[in-house]
Structure 1
């Protein structure tokens, strides 16, 4: 197999987006558009990938990291001008180069692989990925000769009335013989309405040289959608959302109402898990088998074990074990580590805490900056007092501790193994193992107090 290269066009600002965020960094199902493209291209056994950057260059590089090399297009003078920026890295190397736009987040590796195959089978110098559009307005048209080969590609603004009636459009994705590509780029001119250097002009140059130009038409027009404004962005979201949800359902996940379930592109879900309406799953979230998630839950960058239930709750950047019961209306904040068989009940907030196996905080508690052992019971209204206005401090609650309702554990403090904290206590010192700690005023009853108060009034 000949060497394979890829050039990702990601230099445009995207003025029609009307946004401070550069176009290719706008997310689709939780992932920037250009990242979708690069992730798909990365599945194609590419030897070298070059991303053409311009507006927002540093932010694009920060997003993609070492997945790609980069070439800067300081002035955006057209697609051919963009591609020639990769000359220093790729020119003079034999092989096949894929050129794809960074604002086409729906394109799939299988389609690009088919494009490579068509190019190789036809022994072509150029292969164009095309699609049939119901409304081709704005797209370059594919003009074929009598034998069906590609004669030329005409941009919409430069097309005649007859050419504008053509439904087959250029998707902006190509395979080129790499040596022929960079030789032809030197001959591209900007003698057109826009005064830009168009990449499709390479096709006409190679045709005049008698080279083979072919096309591969995808059956999925939606896959080729280029995002240039917020309307197209929402359409890409809709299509990607359907694609993701259908994939999970085919893999054995039950989505009670797919239309109201939002799942990010990198989320993994085990078989026989049920996702209820209104649920949002984002980031690198991994959910095990036989779980119940939702309704109306938001989970981001969490690892969740089998047989866990999360209802009406929010969980971010945390590890949640097997057979855990969370909610309703719980909040699992970042850096929490919740072990197996734990119960986190209604209106409980966990933050940067380890919660040991079999432990419970059933209602109305805040557990922050804490290490909770096994089989601990934390009563209603109890909190770890972790902040003095400047610093955060650690609370340690060892195995088999019982914390009574409405207790304040003022950190730094350790509650020893097997001990009890009496309801209503404010604990400011360590509690020894197997002790009962009572830190509240002794009850005093004032007889006839109300009658005396009323007499004064």
Structure 2
């Protein structure tokens, strides 16, 4: 049997004025990815799966985000805001190509899943011309009610037009919809704007489908999955739901979260086996954590890779481009950026390692700094395997420290150090016998 083709239209033209920000609404992040990114990730992919995103005028940032995630996507601009059906028809050119299934989604519903899209499509495959996503609302106030006749959807009644009995219905419209591609344009083109706002509403598709003698059905999902984002408070609520999902998935996969409610994950975090994460850890996008790794409390990681049996923190920060080899140990109050630390490297405390490559089994003493920025450009520090960098050392890049080299504590190293060499740079110590007592006496006389 030939697989059904699909076209997903994502409506992403909203300005997000209630969020009181200049950032387009669908670009606000949860779990390290934009709202739009979550929807595009859930939409059907692969052969026969088309995607179109409807954006507002001058929303080039939304276009860029779309192309970053789904390069094959078509972009359409809705220049006037004349309702949801009008927004869908902005993608008429894509609809006219005739996909078997037309899915209409919203760029501000990031919790929707690929499984839900699949259930909507399954309803079309079973003969429905229209499938509407619905949910049982704890408080249905403000939502369109789904009016049913047995298993068939009769109409969607908006709150303002609903009777008292209809307002008591808790089965509500989530907005997401699937249409049989053979009938989609016929239904959409019949939607009128004879209403108070003079807009074209997608909900009218249900009544039109019935007028055409076509079947409309409801697919139910949870209220959480169809949360729309219109305010910063709703953004935070969606973040909480997403984090609970990610934590549960991590623990189901074998990750130990000692206090899961305090750990924040990104949607793309990758875990090996036997990983342990202590309380109050933040993991941003682009992080991969190897088998047996332990992340201690109050650590922050973004765009970094941790090898097997690594230890991080507490109070450690890995910035983008950091890679820890197997068995590496990063201790408290250590920051690394664009740094490769090979297997067995130890940076136990109070150090900054930036734009650096540290060879296997090297030891970096407390207070070590790679001085990588000269006010204009970044420069690289290379440390050979087995090197020992004493405490309170500044390595002024660009610089190379050889394998098994030893740097004395308190040094400012500005020149390359060969393999197996000892480098020490500090002023000679001066000791003046009795000077401390003389100093105290002088100070005491001055006070009198």
TM-score in terms of structure 2 length? 0.91
User: Which residue in 2 is equivalent to 1:63?
Assistant: 65
Cα shift at 1:446: 4.9
Cα shift at 1:16: 1.6
Cα shift at 1:94: 4.5
Q: How do residues 7-406 of structure 1 correspond to structure 2 at under 5 angstroms? A: 7-43=9-45, 47-54=49-56, 57-65=59-67, 66-121=71-126, 123-145=127-149, 147-218=150-221, 220-311=222-313, 312-317=315-320, 318-333=322-337, 335-367=338-370, 368=372, 369-386=380-397, 394-406=398-410
Distance 1:35 1:54 in 2: 17
Question: Alignment partner of 2:87: what SS?
Answer: helix
| Offset from partner CA, 1:423-457 (integer Å, 9 cap, x none) | xx15xxxxxxxxxxxxx44x555566568876898
Distance 1:160 1:401 in 2: 83
Structure 2 gap segments, 5+ residues each? 373-379
Distance 1:178 1:198 in 2: 19
User: Which residue in 1 is equivalent to 2:4?
Assistant: 2
CA contact (8 A) 2:8 2:44 kept: no
- Equivalent pairs counted in the alignment come to 428
TM-score in terms of structure 1 length? 0.90
Distance 1:106 1:119 in 2: 22
User: Which residue in 2 is equivalent to 1:436?
Assistant: none
Cα shift at 1:373: 0.4
Structure 1 residues 450 and 70: alpha-carbon distance in aligned structure 2, compared to 1, 3 A threshold: closer
Question: Alignment partner of 1:74: what SS?
Answer: coil
| Offset from partner CA, 1:340-365 (integer Å, 9 cap, x none) | 10001211100000011000113111
CA contact (8 A) 1:100 1:173 kept: yes
| Offset from partner CA, 1:401-440 (integer Å, 9 cap, x none) | 0001000012xx2100000013xx15xxxxxxxxxxxxx4
CA contact (8 A) 2:408 2:423 kept: yes
Cα shift at 1:84: 0.2
CA contact (8 A) 1:92 1:179 kept: no
| Offset from partner CA, 1:311-355 (integer Å, 9 cap, x none) | 12000111111101101110112x111111000121110000001
| Offset from partner CA, 1:18-61 (integer Å, 9 cap, x none) | 22211111111111111000011144765210011115621111
Distance 1:231 1:44 in 2: 35
Structure 1 residues 452 and 307: alpha-carbon distance in aligned structure 2, compared to 1, 3 A threshold: closer
| Offset from partner CA, 1:71-110 (integer Å, 9 cap, x none) | 1001221110000011112215151111111111111101
Distance 2:224 2:139 in 1: 12
Distance 1:253 1:35 in 2: 25
CA contact (8 A) 1:157 1:193 kept: no
Cα shift at 1:294: 1.9
Distance 1:237 1:94 in 2: 33
Structure 1 residues 12 and 418: alpha-carbon distance in aligned structure 2, compared to 1, 3 A threshold: same
Distance 2:6 2:125 in 1: 11
Distance 1:127 1:445 in 2: 87
User: Which residue in 1 is equivalent to 2:377?
Assistant: none
CA contact (8 A) 1:91 1:179 kept: no
Structure 1 gap segments, 5+ residues each? 387-393, 427-439
Cα shift at 1:62: 1.3
CA contact (8 A) 1:12 1:55 kept: no
CA contact (8 A) 2:16 2:25 kept: yes
Question: Alignment partner of 1:137: what SS?
Answer: coil
21-30 or 49-58, which deviates more: 49-58
Question: Alignment partner of 1:414: what SS?
Answer: coil
CA contact (8 A) 1:81 1:197 kept: yes
